[in-house]
Chain A
Amino acid sequence: GEDVEQSLFLSVREGDSSVINCTYTDSSSTYLYWYKQEPGAGLQLLTYIFSNMDMKQDQRLTVLLNKKDKHLSLRIADTQTGDSAIYFCAENAGGTSYGKLTFGQGTILTVHP
């Protein structure tokens, strides 16, 4: 079955860039997502990328996709303390699979002043 893997922890200093990495196994993945979860809250969709793209930029966020290696990354520029949260990578196969997401374990990002 599909599998999505992430490293569990990342610690950065305020103002530095953060890079969160994710690998996936499903070659039929159509969309790949990054969600943010703050303590006690639901999941907030940050951004997503279609599988035929290799990069997407949205303000401080840059998503890179290496489809050959099945590797996805999220770069947060000028990381702030408000960026401290759990970040989930997820994928789906598109079509009638929209909404059927497979998630990674989540990466806990801690931003130090």
Chain B
Amino acid sequence: NAGVTQTPKFQVLKTGQSMTLQCAQDMNHEYMSWYRQDPGMGLRLIHYSVGAGITDQGEVPNGYNVSRSTTEDFPLRLLSAAPSQTSVYFCASSPMGAPEAFFGQGTRLTVV
């Protein structure tokens, strides 16, 4: 039972590079979310999806793109990485009509 799987676990990027953080869940959950965690600030919502083909912005969406072509996958794209995007990124999924949210193990991203 894999749950929510994030890849890669660690990544170092140079300023201006692009990359995609992968998130997959095998629980057939409708809702998926991306958060970033910075020291002393808790987790902040970046983007959100209520189902395939539907996405919405969270609190801190600038610099990030998402799409949801399948129920299982919700990739997060950084088009031009900046040092301010150095953070730990968490993906989460939730079933429709239920309050629990399940988190992946995180991706630690450093932009130099």
Assuming A42-B90, A98-B99, is B40 touching A8 (CB within 8 A)? yes
- What is the CA–CA distance of A56 and B82 in the complex, to the nearest angstrom? 43
Enumerate chain A residues within 8 angstroms of B96, measured Cβ to Cβ. 98
User: Which listed residue (A30, A31, A101) contacts B45, Cβ 8 A?
Assistant: A101
Q: Please tell me the number of chain B residues within 8 Å of chain A, measured between CB atoms.
A: 30
Q: Is the CB of A43 within 8 A of B50?
A: no
Q: Is the CB of A101 within 8 A of B106?
A: no
The interface size bin for chain A is 20 to 34
Q: Which of A43-85 contact B (CB under 8 A)?
A: 43-45, 48, 50
The yes or no answer to B93 lying at the interface (CB within 8 A) is yes
Q: Is the CB of B92 within 8 A of A103?
A: no
Q: Is the CB of A98 within 8 A of B58?
A: no
Assuming A42-B105, A48-B100, A94-B99, is B93 touching A99 (CB within 8 A)? yes
Q: Is the CB of A100 within 8 A of B43?
A: no
Q: Which of B84-112 contact A (CB under 8 A)?
A: 90, 92-106
Which B residue's beta carbon lies closest to that of A5?
Answer: B42
Which A residue's beta carbon lies closest to that of B32?
Answer: A99
The yes or no answer to B77 lying at the interface (CB within 8 A) is no
- Taking Cβ atoms with an 8 Å cutoff, the residues of A that contact B are 1, 4, 8, 30-31, 33, 35, 41-45, 48, 50, 88, 90, 92, 94, 96, 98-106
